[in-house]
Amino acid sequence: MPRKPKGPVLNQLVLERLMHYFHLVGEQIPDNANGWVSSAHIAQLLAMDDTLVRKDLASIGVRGRPRVGFSIAELKGRIREVLGFNEIYKAIIVGAGRLGGAIVSYSGFAKYGLYVVALFDADTSRAGEVMGGVLVQPIDNLESVINRHDIHMAIITVPAEAAQAMADRLVDAGIRAIWNFAPTSLVVPQGVFVRHEHISVGLAELAYYLKRNNLTTTDWPSESWRPGQPLESTAEEG
Amino acid sequence: MPRKPKGPVLNQLVLERLMHYFHLVGEQIPDNANGWVSSAHIAQLLAMDDTLVRKDLASIGVRGRPRVGFSIAELKGRIREVLGFNEIYKAIIVGAGRLGGAIVSYSGFAKYGLYVVALFDADTSRAGEVMGGVLVQPIDNLESVINRHDIHMAIITVPAEAAQAMADRLVDAGIRAIWNFAPTSLVVPQGVFVRHEHISVGLAELAYYLKRNNLTTTDWPSESWRPGQPLESTAEEG
């Protein structure tokens, strides 16, 4: 019998903010905080409103004490619990290119409970390589590995034009959650969750900042230069 | 004399949503929309509230027509204009590892006005390699390249422990906007903008989904397995 879902239902923005609080108290604050932190301090470091910080923390049952603030240990423990970081979820990566390699080599995922079990590539000549300690396997092994290890999560790092067909195949094989790094949208059936990582989303903020501060240009670097062409040639540096 | 900043002041969340609208009308909607799209359609595809869609678009001066919706051409054009995608901003990447390589190889940035001019690595033996059409240069060239090409933006893909020192050096060299992919926070002076890409933020949503749907486990895959150790060995597949 399936267990009942437990705990509050939280939307994407709350979940992302909880992750930011988790990073903050894990990386920045503990050095100078003797175990307590105020919502004002969190809000200041994250450039947000402290009412929202308190509301987010209250939504997961973390309440501060007047004039003391929030217990860092409680805050971290509760976020770990709500987001499921105390449990284990195994994932595979499909696409052993540079991005797939960067993700599998990232050593920070274990603290969130994520373990990359296998890496697949459509190019069979890649099979047998090891990236980030994980074996690259031929794509034909996909279904058997998913099945053997009872895997529900897949990370897609294939080119955009191959992503939808791969998502269909993953869903057919039993995948229920997809972390999509291919720069395209995916259509999946009800009951499958997709998180799109559009790497370019961050550019909105950067481009806007540069534009507002007159740090962009409307001139090409030179008459002969065209977008995509490197400005720095080997000759120039030789 | 510096030009005056122009246009509305928009916060991070609005900017990110504008980017999502821009992707949506660029990639998904045009096929079946004959030039118009409703806020309800956008809201449905992005799983958000259509009042917020209308508010965001109104904030950049895009207003819909009753029973017709929004002009896709106007929407795209106005987002391009507000976010500065019609202008050019040049960037360098520091760190020619897998992630730096994946970013420099991404062909989609030109449509946002971003051009990667040079790639640097602390490992001088890497100098002379070409990744994504861009030359890897020794880190000693950093200041001269920034100066020569009047570059204001840098993308950091060095390891976490090297990121702050690199940020300091970039700021000293005149960099005003940093896109930080190193998994650590950076401290920069007033007047320098940092966008942190914490790759793990997306995991909050995925882990939460898996947990609520009982797709996590609390058991290790086997007695002998330890986190970080691949489940799939060469032997097993041989």
The answer to whether position A238 is within a domain reads no
Mutation pick from A206, A217, A236 vs chain B, by most beta carbons of B within 10 Å, is: A206
Count CB-CB contacts under 10 A for residue B81.
16
| pLDDT tens digits for range B209-236 | 999 999 988 776 665 665 555 565 544 4
Tell whether A77 and A144 lie within a shared domain: no
Nearest CB among B109, B210, B232 relative to A137 is that of: B232
Domain count, chain B: 2
Side chain identity at A161, as an amino acid letter? E
Q: Which whole number is the average pLDDT over B162-166?
A: 97
Tell whether B117 and B169 lie within a shared domain: yes
Confidence of residue A233 (pLDDT cuts 50, 70, 90): low
Domain limits at A100?
A: 89-196
Looking at residue A31, its pLDDT comes to 57
Looking at residue B13, its pLDDT comes to 82
Q: Is the pLDDT of residue A174 over 90?
A: yes
Q: Does the CA dihedral A94-A97-A102-A105 come out positive or negative? A: positive
Mutation pick from B18, B99, B205 vs chain A, by most beta carbons of A within 10 Å, is: B205
Residue A39 and residue A184: Cα distance in Å, rounded?
37
Global confidence as pTM = 0.82
Closest C-alpha among B180, B176, B186 to residue A214: B176
Q: What is the CATH number of the domain that holds A64?
A: 1.10.10.10
Tell whether A111 and A27 lie within a shared domain: no
| pLDDT tens digits for range B4-56 | 555 668 888 889 889 989 988 887 776 555 889 999 999 888 777 889 999 99
The answer to whether position B165 is within a domain reads yes
> Is the CB of residue A150 less than 8 Å from the CB of residue A87?
no
Q: Is the pLDDT of residue A159 over 60?
A: yes
Distances in Å between the Cα of B124 and the Cα atoms of A43, A232, B121 are 41, 17, 7
Nearest CB among A103, A207, A234 relative to B112 is that of: A207
Rounded to whole angstroms, the maximal C-alpha distance in chain A is 69
Burial of A134: CB neighbours in 10 Å, binned 0-12, 13-18, 19+: buried
Tell whether B37 and B78 lie within a shared domain: yes
Between B218 and A5, the more confident residue is B218
Rounded to the nearest 5°, which phi and psi values hold at B110? -60, -30
Distances in Å between the Cα of A193 and the Cα atoms of A152, A167, B212, B213 are 10, 11, 12, 11
Between A232 and A117, the more confident residue is A117
Tell whether B66 and B105 lie within a shared domain: no
The answer to whether position A77 is within a domain reads yes
Tell whether B100 and B185 lie within a shared domain: yes
Mutation pick from B31, B59, B143, B208 vs chain A, by most beta carbons of A within 10 Å, is: B208
Nearest CB among A133, A152, A221 relative to B228 is that of: A133
Q: Do A207 and B83 touch (CB under 8 A)?
A: yes
Q: Do A234 and B135 touch (CB under 8 A)?
A: yes
Looking at residue A170, its pLDDT comes to 98
| pLDDT tens digits for range A192-218 | 999 988 888 889 999 999 999 999 887
Q: Do A207 and B117 touch (CB under 8 A)?
A: no
The answer to whether position B59 is within a domain reads yes
Poorest-confidence range of A79-88, A187-196, B100-109?
Answer: B100-109
Q: What does pLDDT average to over chain A?
A: 86
| pLDDT tens digits for range B185-217 | 899 999 999 998 888 888 999 999 999 999 988
Looking at residue B189, its pLDDT comes to 95
Between A35 and B162, the more confident residue is B162
Looking at residue B185, its pLDDT comes to 81
Tell whether A32 and A53 lie within a shared domain: yes
| pLDDT tens digits for range A97-146 | 999 999 998 878 888 999 999 999 999 999 999 998 899 999 999 999 99
> Is the CB of residue A134 less than 8 Å from the CB of residue B230?
yes
Between A92 and A219, the more confident residue is A92
> Is the CB of residue A117 less than 8 Å from the CB of residue A92?
yes
Tell whether A98 and A146 lie within a shared domain: yes
Nearest CB among B176, B183, B193 relative to A108 is that of: B183
Q: Closest approach of chain B CAs to the CA of A35, in angstroms? A: 20
Q: What is the CATH number of the domain that holds A169?
A: 3.40.50.720
Between A72 and A233, the more confident residue is A72
Q: How does DSSP assign B48-102, residue by residue?
A: S-HHHHHHHHHHTT---BTTTBEEHHHHHHHHHHHHTTTSBEEEEEE--SHHHHH
Side chain identity at B63, as an amino acid letter? R
Confidence of residue A191 (pLDDT cuts 50, 70, 90): very high
Q: Is the pLDDT of residue A226 over 70?
A: no
Looking at residue B151, its pLDDT comes to 95
> Is the CB of residue A132 less than 8 Å from the CB of residue A104?
yes
The answer to whether position A222 is within a domain reads no
| pLDDT tens digits for range A23-52 | 888 877 765 558 899 999 998 887 778 999
Tell whether A68 and A100 lie within a shared domain: no
The answer to whether position A49 is within a domain reads yes
Tell whether A96 and A23 lie within a shared domain: no
Paired with A93 in beta bridges are A119, A155
Tell whether A101 and A37 lie within a shared domain: no
Residue B39 and residue B55: Cα distance in Å, rounded?
10
Question: A118 contacts in B (CB within 8 Å)?
Answer: 230-232
Chain mean position to CA A143: 24
The answer to whether position A208 is within a domain reads no
Poorest-confidence range of A67-71, A175-179, B46-50?
Answer: B46-50
Q: Do A203 and B7 touch (CB under 8 A)?
A: no
Tell whether B97 and B188 lie within a shared domain: yes
The answer to whether position A156 is within a domain reads yes
- In terms of CA atoms, which chain B residue is nearest residue A134? B230
Paired with B91 in beta bridges are B116, B153
Q: Which whole number is the average pLDDT over B146-173?
A: 96
> Is the CB of residue A232 less than 8 Å from the CB of residue B135?
yes
- Write the CB contacts of A192 (distance below 8 Å, at least 6 apart in sequence): A171, A175, A176, A177, A178
> Is the CB of residue A114 less than 8 Å from the CB of residue A92?
no
Q: Which whole number is the average pLDDT over A80-86?
A: 93
Q: In the listed set A23, A54, A83, which residue is the last one of a domain according to the structure? A: A83
Q: In the listed set A66, A83, A100, which residue is the last one of a domain according to the structure? A: A83
Between B3 and A160, the more confident residue is A160
Q: Is the pLDDT of residue A1 over 50?
A: no
Residue B214 and residue B216: Cα distance in Å, rounded?
6
Q: In the listed set A196, A215, A230, which residue is the last one of a domain according to the structure? A: A196
> Is the CB of residue A144 less than 8 Å from the CB of residue A161?
no
Residue B126 half-sphere exposure toward CB, CA atoms < 13 A: 21
